Amino acid sequence: MARILIVDDEPDLRGIVRLILELAGHEVVEAHHGAAALQRLAEQRVDLLITDVMMPVMSGSELIDRLRADPEHAKLPILVLSASPHAVDRADHVMRKPFEPTHLRRVAANLLGANAEP
Amino acid sequence: MGLFDEALKVLADAVDRSVIVAGPEGKVLQANRRARTLLSWEQPDALVTRSLETIPFALSTRSRLQRDPGPWEEETTIEARGRLIPVLVAKRPIAVRGRRAGSLVLITDLRDVTTAIAERDRARRNDLAKTRSLHMVAHDMSGAVTIIKGYVALVQEGSLGIDELERYVPVLADQLQHMERLLNALLDTARLEEGGLELRLEPLDLADFVEDLVRKMRAPETGHQLMVRREAAGLPILADPIRLDSIVRNVLSNAIKYSPEGTVVTCTLRLDDGATLEVADEGGGIAGDDQSLLFTRFGRVGELATNPPGVGLGLFLSRELARLHGGDLTVTSEVGKGSRFTLRMPLRDGGAR
């Protein structure tokens, strides 16, 4: 089973993403900004990171920069969910909000790769 | 003669610079309306006695006007009504059938030019800020749409039963309300620009209102503590509850957004010149220069991508709404010592209890 970390400062947004992914059989953990996400990642193994861009304390862009610079997490698949038209180029995929649940599940499955269980 | 001359006079009066026609010896023959105003040559016979050398330019310009037939132009100053005004002077020789017949002197008031440039820059900055704040509103709005759309799509595809959806109805209601608030803020901002904003006043108590609102607000996950201190028993006011809600929410969410996690935001309700709500945070504070930016139409302090999202028009709109009530919204802050936003509303007739 894949474990997915969702980073967003809006709890209800994490809620719907969680439900979509849990219905697809994934395990979900949450963080409310970039700094909280780094803490989560230090505590447990995560197979995919889904993050917003504009967040207080630490933005999604800064989070991605830090992860890419850290050998342990440099290869972690990252999906950016953003309303902003500015793409974050160090992410593996950028998805615009709002999105379709089926689209989110498909992209997550692709990023998790062939060996991830659905 | 005739029509063409008259047309030239009309044209000369229509241009936004001073135009003076002088004869070969520098005697002033004609001056357009703008020139007569600038040089206080308003009397009808004033021109008769004038010559170019009497125009109160800086000395070097005066002597050049006399000896240099032109064409030339230079920046200089002119004394008008006891003030030195920066101007651009241009002199063009006029020849009639190959013979020097006189000259044309054009004076441009550089204050007009700088004002025009400043105005254009201001308009451009305002446009940029407006675009940025539209992005902000769109960002906030897209979160709500994503959430509502997500639940509906799950029901539509059959992954979520309609009975299971009931559990999420409070989430949907919250998000719809959030969208309604954003929509109201956009509409009110537009109404303010058009001057068509009307308040629906009701008698209410500011202290009760704020206490209720704080109780209804979800505990922020940032660990901020919202404290309410009532220093007055009652604060009766006349206010539009929807607009008052928007003002108070805005100030509170601002305090939460711009202060460190886990700190305290204190709402103090007191009676002084009026009914007063003071919201104090333990944040980094706001530098003096930035304080004035806070309440500009689309301003947000330190416009950085790393800043938390927020509707740029929030504080501007809040202050305008407070003023429409006859009150005001102000800030006092010192870097390193947090900020204090003060909403002051006029007391309802009958005064405080």
Answer whether residue B12 is part of any domain: yes
d(Cα A118, Cα B294) in Å, to the nearest integer? 48
Residue after which a domain boundary falls, among B114, B148, B177: B114
Separation in Å, CA of A10 to nearest CA in chain B: 8
Per-residue pLDDT at B306: 34
Answer whether residue B140 is part of any domain: no
Q: What is the ipTM of this complex?
A: 0.91
For residues B93 and B207, state if they share a domain.
no
Chain A residues with CB inside 8 Å of B283's CB?
none
Number of inter-chain CB pairs under 8 A, A vs B: 73
Tens digit of each residue's pLDDT, chain B (353 residues): 688 888 888 888 888 899 999 988 888 888 898 898 888 887 766 666 788 888 889 888 888 888 888 899 888 899 988 888 889 999 999 988 888 889 999 999 888 887 888 888 778 877 777 777 777 788 788 899 999 999 999 999 999 999 999 999 999 999 999 899 888 888 888 888 788 888 999 999 999 999 999 998 877 788 888 999 999 888 999 999 999 999 999 899 888 888 888 899 999 999 988 999 999 988 877 766 666 666 765 554 444 333 344 444 578 888 989 999 999 999 888 777 888 999 999 998 755 44
How many domains does the structure of chain B reveal?
2
Chain B residues with CB inside 8 Å of A84's CB?
135, 139
Chain A stretch 7-66, residues whose beta carbon is closer than 8 A to a beta carbon of chain B: 9-13, 15-17, 19-20, 23, 32, 54-59, 61-62
Separation in Å, CA of A102 to nearest CA in chain B: 9
Q: Provide the domain limits for residue B285.
A: 199-353
Q: Give the pLDDT confidence of A60-86 residue by residue, as tens digits.
A: 889 999 999 999 998 899 999 987 656
Answer whether residue B181 is part of any domain: no
Instruction: Please report, for the domain that includes residue B265, its CATH number.
Output: 3.30.565.10
For residues B339 and B211, state if they share a domain.
yes
- Report residue A98 as tokens: 């709002």
For residues B340 and B203, state if they share a domain.
yes
Answer whether residue B161 is part of any domain: no
Q: Give the pLDDT confidence of A53-67 residue by residue, as tens digits.
A: 888 888 888 999 999
Answer whether residue B210 is part of any domain: yes
CA nearest to A10 within chain B: B143
Answer whether residue B122 is part of any domain: no
Answer whether residue B146 is part of any domain: no
Per-residue pLDDT at B342: 94
Per-residue pLDDT at B292: 65
For residues B254 and B106, state if they share a domain.
no
pTM of the prediction? 0.67
d(Cα B71, Cα A84) in Å, to the nearest integer? 56
Q: Which domains does chain A have, with CATH numbers?
A: 3-111 (3.40.50.2300)
Q: In whole angstroms, how far apart are CA B126 and each of A31, B132, B291, B297, B307? A: 36, 10, 18, 8, 20
Residue after which a domain boundary falls, among B89, B114, B139: B114
Per-residue pLDDT at B308: 40
d(Cα B139, Cα B343) in Å, to the nearest integer? 28
For residues B217 and B103, state if they share a domain.
no
Contacts of A60 (CB under 8 A, 6+ apart): A7, A34, A51, A52, A53, A54, A80, A82, A88
Instruction: Please report, for the domain that includes residue B66, its CATH number.
Output: 3.30.450.20
Chain B residues with CB inside 8 Å of A61's CB?
305-306
Answer whether residue B14 is part of any domain: yes
Residue after which a domain boundary falls, among B114, B139, B159: B114
Instruction: Give the closest of A13, A55, A61 to B146, CB-based.
Output: A13
For residues B208 and B86, state if they share a domain.
no
Separation in Å, CA of B147 to nearest CA in chain A: 6
